[in-house]
Structure 1
Amino acid sequence: MISLALAASLAAAPAPRAATSAETVVHIPRTDALQGVTAFLDRAGQSAALLRPVVWYAELHPFLSFDLSQPATLTRLGIDPTGPLTVSLRGGGRISCTRLTDPKVFQQKAAEMLVTASGKAEATPTTSGGVTTVNVLRESGGRAGYALKGQEACAFSSASGGFVDDGQGQVLLKEASRLVSKAPKSDARLAQLPGSVYVLLPGRGMVVGVDGSATELRLEGTATQLPLPPFQASGTSPYGAMKPEGLLFSRARVAPAGVSQAVGSVTASIQQVCPSCPPAQVASVARAVAEHLTGHVLMVVDGVRSRPNLRTLEGRFFAPRQAFAAEVTDAAAVKSALAPLAKFPGAKATEDGYALDVKGGTLFVRLKGRQLVVGNDEAVSRSLLAALPQAGAKLPHAVEYTVDPKRLASGLNQVSLMDVVADKQLAGLFAMGLELGPLLSRSERISGWLDSTTGGAHRFSTTWTLPATP
């Protein structure tokens, strides 16, 4: 009964008034139901300024300011503090739709801000077909305004560069007018996901529900275009009894249809750091091995090497100290399939496999019983082999993973400013280390799961946990 009531309440939640061609949509079904998320962000914001609620509150409306944790700030603007709020981000600007308790108050407050922005004496509204609109040219460039009908208002601002009207303001005004004139269509995906905030990325087929508490931020979503192979829930995994350790620990079962794709991804990475390895033979070994894989895989990243060279492909490949394990159906057949490695440049036979010297380091390929282990660090490879259990255990999801946030923070700190100067692609990691590093170092764990669904889609969940006490 509880689950049915929850499903009914979610289905009845106000649908998003999302603009067409929106690149990102943020939908809050009830603006007074964010206590859990804001509690987490309040605490996280003490270590990462970007996560402070006051920072993202400013992005929720094109020209009005309010604090969702203080309903009175919404009421003073004529906005319903219990109503929905939907923000649509487009290349030409953004639109924010809200429900009103007092349209006249909203118009008055909006006029005050728009007059200030335009430098004119007044922002004159016009009414047509029951829709009241305002559209002003801002002194700073671009346009801003709103469309209002009944209790619904959609405000907009264009991201025009310079002071020449590029027509985006009129496009946004037309879209805002359409949004207030029609009831929004319900989105069944939202009803299937828990959350007090929803983020939609239409171009990627992704919807994420966000909820939380003072110690947890929980994300659960669906996506149709993740660059991942199909997975299948396995029930019993040969790695199910292992204790998660390291920066990243992930175990999964790849569906038979996705084994070749998964092996191909690993093979491509190996070929990049070993350009002298004969491509045809590398592909032949990969195909032969793939034929004998059950789909059960394990990935362990112990950490990031100190002061790695991140400015080259091989440097980035060897920066994380990692190893993969894969269960095989026939150890003798896999051993035979790996035999050609002995003739590769820089290859040396070992007691249980091969060591392959390549530019930037050494690759290790080992076979122990029905477990094939490939790694770029000898110690991590040996440790993984030693930790493999004799018996498996059940797992509820096709993919499960855990991240040690402290080790992640340490790894991000290895990206230097000079790395960014040499390769701008590293700028995101550098910025992440600066902004989130302090919070990660004070976090307890990050964990999650993923399952494949029909039509090549995936459903996933992530939980970011802070210590019980600050």
Structure 2
Amino acid sequence: MFSSLVLAATLAAAPAPRSASAAQTVVHVPQLDAMGGLSAFLARAGTHSAMLRPEAWRAELHPFLVIDPTKPETLSASGLDPAGPATVSLRADGRVSCMRVKDAKTFQAKAAEAMTAAGGADVKPTTSKGVTSVSVKRSAGGAMGYALKGTEVCAFGAIDEAGAALLKESVKLVGKAPAPDARLGKVPGAAYLATGGTVVGLDGTGNVLKVEGTAVKLPLPPFQAKGTSPYAAMQPTGMLFSRVAVAPAGVQQAVGSLRATIQAVCPECPKEQVQSVADAVAKQLTGNLLVNMDNVQVRGSLRAPEVRFFSVKQALAAEVTDAAAVKSALAPLGNFPGAKTLADGWALAVKGGSVFVRLKDKQLVVGNDEAVTQATLAALPAAGAKQERAADFTLDPQKLARGLGQVGLSDVLADEQLAALFAVSSELGPLLERSERITGWMDSAPGGAHRFSMTWTLPESK
């Protein structure tokens, strides 16, 4: 009984978007006039990134009306309610935008003007079972129109011959009250984005963007907050600093990823022995990990695996249960090609550089740069401390911008992944260079999902 009441309360508090069926992506704003803080951040960030400027995305809010949620008068002038909700559903055959009407006559007049200007001749509404609807063809192709019932309206813009289907969908959407979406109720936000298995809530102020969400099928191991971590008291440094508590079921996955990377840059290393060492070490790990990516220095073409690996100067630390057992498990490394024995571990000369594997008490540190590896070892604290989240991170946006800026044009033309990085650098690089910090956390969620949060901070405006 109690659980049923909790579920009912949760659903009642959850946003209720009028989402079209078969929507690939849904954007929902529970209250348009509550977007002031988020809009203020986007407006400021947009001075350095064109894609974040309000004018770059506000045209997507409605298929044929020009409205700006940052200017309530544009909504009122179109007969829409500035304090009402908005839901935009993007489908393969077009989009549907549902909002609340404050003045139906004004809305219909403005809609008729816009549709006539777009080539939709003879805009004649029809009314059936309390729903007033319009559907006209556009001179540029496709169709547009709306369905209006009471104070609810859903407008559509259809591709090719999908006008009838989207009109029918719009009529259905205004015909009944929308159901609360429990996915959106799990995260806070002034605006929501849902696509695939990912739901994101967005909010902000003039200099801070808050992002919180849930996602399924991320290529990450399951996390499990352990309360105490040997890395919790360490001060974040470098480009990316992350403390992670991996669940027992995910330790093998995490080790397997590192093993595959090392094998790629050391094809001469005996594959069976590399696998054997990795399996033996995985059994001794507690799941507490530290990732320290200090900086990016690209030397050559990033299409080569070894160049990619050594471009990010980094070290990974992992807590072990039995240092003696780990040392014994790692002993075969001394017989690998190019191996050099150190006082506290080994250095493996591989294609493109050296991999350092070192032990300090119950800390195993693996790095691809001697200076970063040494610095990580030296910074390891003598005692652990409480860690609030299963995973947290601190990102230096300026170092990230400099790293992204090192992707070469020849690599961009030959590799889709590198082309994507180049696009991110071109679009967000100037904003990253002018940002103060980016922090966040991540936890596991039921059903193999992950919950995440990010805070992007710009310097205080002067």
TM-score, normalised relative to structure 1: 0.93
Partner of 1:42: 43
Of 168, 173, 178, which aligns to 1:184? 178
Aligned to 2:60: 59
1:327-406 pair list within 5 angstroms: 327-406=319-398
Gaps of 5+ in 1: 1-6
Q: Counterpart amino acid of 1:27? A: H
Root mean square deviation of aligned Cα? 1.9
Cα displacement string for residues 8-64 of structure 1 (whole angstroms, at most 9, x for unaligned residues)? 899456510111221211100000001110111121112212211121111111111
Comparing 451-460 with 63-72, greater Cα deviation is found at: 451-460
Please give the per-residue CA displacement for 1:296-323, whole angstroms capped at 9, x wherever unaligned: 0000100100455212222212211111
| Matches for 1:70-85 after TM superposition, within 5 Å | 70-85=71-86
Report the counterpart of residue 403 of structure 2 in structure 1.
Answer: 411
Question: What is the distance in 2 between the residues matched to 1:383 and 1:26?
Answer: 45
Aligned to 2:28: 27
- Aligned counterparts of 2:209 and 2:133: Cα–Cα separation in 1: 39
Change (3 A) 1:283 1:306: closer
Residue 115 of structure 1 is matched in structure 2 by: 116
Amino acid at match of 1:410: R
Q: Partner letter of residue 177 of structure 1?
A: V
Q: Which amino acid aligns with 2:138?
A: R
- 2:262 is the alignment partner of 1:261: no
Deviation per CA, 1:128-158, whole angstroms, max 9, x where unpaired? 3332222222222222222222211111112
CA contact (8 A) 1:355 1:364 kept: yes
Range moving further from structure 2, 456-465 or 271-280: 271-280
Say which SS state the counterpart of residue 64 (structure 2) adopts: coil
Cα displacement (A) at 1:348? 2.2
1:13 touches 1:29 (CA, 8 Å); kept in 2?
no
The answer to whether structure 1 residue 197 and structure 2 residue 188 are counterparts is no
Report SS of the residue matched to 2:102: coil
SS at match of 1:182: coil
1:286 matched to 2:295? The reply is no
Structure-2 residue corresponding to 1:3: none
1:336 deviates by 0.9
Query: Secondary structure of the residue that 2:66 maps to in structure 1?
Result: coil
Q: Runs in 1 of length 4+ with deviation above 3 angstroms?
A: 7-14
Q: SS state of the match for residue 133, structure 2?
A: strand
Inter-partner Cα distance in structure 1 for 2:428 and 2:257:
29
Alignment correspondent of 1:96: 97
**Judging changes above 3 Å, is the alpha-carbon distance between structure 1 residues 128 and 442 closer, same or farther for their aligned structure 2 residues?**
same
Alignment of 1:130 onto 2:130: yes
CA drift at 1:94? 1.3
Q: Is the 1:249–1:299 Cα contact (8 Å) retained in structure 2?
A: yes
Q: 2:202 is paired with a residue of what secondary structure?
A: strand
Equivalent pair of 2:264/2:306 in contact (CA under 8 Å):
yes
The alignment status of 1:250 with 2:233, answered yes or no, reads no
- 1:418-461 deviation digits (Å, cap 9, x = unpaired): 22112232122111111111111111100011111333222211
| Cα distance, 1:31–1:9 mapped onto 2, change above 3 Å | farther
The structure-2 alpha-carbon separation of the partners of 1:381 and 1:14, relative to structure 1 and needing over 3 Å to count, comes to: closer
Q: Hey, what's the Cα distance between the residues in 2 that align with 1:448 and 1:369? A: 29
The answer (yes or no) to whether the contact 2:132–2:147 under 8 Å persists in 1 is yes
Query: SS state of the match for residue 60, structure 2?
Result: coil
Residues 351-372 of structure 1 show CA distances to partners (whole Å, capped at 9, x for unaligned) of 2222222222221111121111
Residue aligned with 2:412, SS: helix
> CA deviation digits over 1:146-199, x for unaligned, max 9?
2222211111112x3xxxx4x322222222221111211101232332211111
The 2-side partners of 1:187 and 1:20 are apart by 14
Instruction: State the alpha-carbon separation in 2 of the partners of residues 188 and 197 from structure 1.
Output: 15
SS of residue paired to 2:81: coil
C-alpha distance in 2 between matches for 1:457 and 1:306? 34
Are positions 1:153 and 2:145 aligned together?
Answer: no
Q: Distance in 2 between matches of 1:226 and 1:259?
A: 16
Which residue pairs with 2:263 in the alignment?
A: 271
Deviations 1:220-261 (A, max 9, x none): 112232222111112111001110000000001111111111
* Unaligned ranges ≥5, structure 2: 1-7
Question: Is 1:174 aligned with 2:168?
Answer: yes
Q: CA–CA distance in 2 between the matches of 1:75 and 1:300?
A: 51
Q: How does 1:459-470 map to 2 (within 5 A)?
A: 459-470=451-462
User: Are 1:440 and 2:432 matched, yes or no?
Assistant: yes
> Which residue identity does 1:237 align to in structure 2?
S
CA contact (8 A) 1:293 1:329 kept: yes
CA distance in 1, matches of 2:443, 2:47: 34
1:305-320 correspondence runs (5 A): 305-320=297-312
Q: Does the CA contact (< 8 Å) of 2:99 and 2:153 recur in 1?
A: yes
CA distance in 2 between counterparts of 1:289 and 1:389 reads 22
Percent identical:
62
Amino acid at match of 1:138: R
Q: 1:218 aligns with which of 210, 213, 222?
A: 210
Q: Quick check: 304-313 or 327-336, which moved more?
A: 304-313
Distance in 1 between residues matched to 2:267 and 2:22, nearest whole Å: 43
